Amino acid sequence: MKLVRYGAIGQEKPGLIDKSGQLRDLSAHVKDLDGGAYAPASLAKLAALDPASLPAVNGKPRLGAPVTGISKFVAIGLNYSDHAKETGNQIPTEPIFFLKANTALSGPNDPVEKPRGSTKLDWEVEIAAIVGTTAKYVSEADALNHVAGYCVCNDVSERNFQIERLGQWTKGKSHDTFGPVGPWLVTKDEIPDVQKLSMWLDVNGKRRQTGSTATMIFSMAQCISYVSQFMTLRPGDIVTTGTPPGVGTGMKPPQFLNVGDVVTLGIEGLGEQRQEIIAA
């Protein structure tokens, strides 16, 4: 299934995309796509529905992030060796992770704000997992059993805030709109191998990132398992898993985003995003 939340900010409704690409409303079957909706029993009930029986939604409404009410937004850093090298970092020997503020979460096509005082606004195409069942001290072999599905994520970053402002990465990763997720959640049964998905990102129509989840240093299962050793992952939580090379800070000379720039990105089987940069 491809599950979505659609409508104006704060008024989103649950829906799904049928095989023809038609948006259909799920409001009669689930209140919203929060952690409870992504529990296995709830997903099974939604999967049993005949999409043709659901009301079709006309037009092209705004899409919100396909999950709400999360307890945490976890991000893995430096999880592609070429990205670590381009940013002057050593290849990590175990996963590096940090928290993005929950308030960074936004829709896949919503504008991205350039923060006040920002000088180094950057992009990062990533694959994110949405947790379906509570994960605490889970093994690598069992980790993906705790995942409801996968999404595209742009881990928007302000490098000056992140690196030069004497704080942890969270400072440069958590401004409002710095976590576009979607356009939809694709349930894991539709992704035969999460480690074989191509990914890309363009800025103003020019290709900046080309990569594949096959080149992750730590697999999706390793990332989920590792994070669960340090904190409990609850249904609906987001774990985004690092970016391939091609970020602005790694270019020679570095290039960063300005107001008016347009970022487009996508991952094989998971859809595409588009964001325009606006002033905060």
> Cβ contacts of residue 138 below 8 Å, gap of 6+?
146, 224, 225, 228
Find out whether 242 and 77 touch, Cβ atoms under 8 Å. Answer: yes
Residue 177 — left, alpha, or beta (φ > 0 → left; ψ -120 to 50 → alpha)? Answer: left
Structure-block tokens of residue 279: 């002033």
Entry pTM: 0.96
Rounded mean pLDDT for each run of 10 residues along the chain, 280 residues in total = 98 97 98 96 97 97 97 95 83 95 98 98 98 98 98 97 89 97 98 98 98 96 98 98 95 96 98 98
Q: Say what the pLDDT of residue 53 is.
A: 97
Find out whether 163 and 172 touch, Cβ atoms under 8 Å. Answer: yes
User: What sign has the CA pseudo-torsion 227, 103, 133, 40?
Assistant: negative
Q: Say what the pLDDT of residue 38 is.
A: 96
Q: Say what the pLDDT of residue 200 is.
A: 98
- Give the pairing type, strands 112-114 and 271-279: parallel
> Cβ contacts of residue 177 below 8 Å, gap of 6+?
104, 106, 110, 111, 112, 113, 156
The average confidence (pLDDT) of the chain is 96
Backbone angles phi, psi at 9, to 5 degrees: -55, 130
d(CA 37, CA 42) in angstroms, rounded, equals 5
Q: Say what the pLDDT of residue 126 is.
A: 98
d(CA 194, CA 184) in angstroms, rounded, equals 16
Q: Say what the pLDDT of residue 183 is.
A: 98
The half-sphere exposure of 163 on its side-chain side, counting CA atoms within 13 A, is: 12
Tokens 């990569």 correspond to what residue? 211
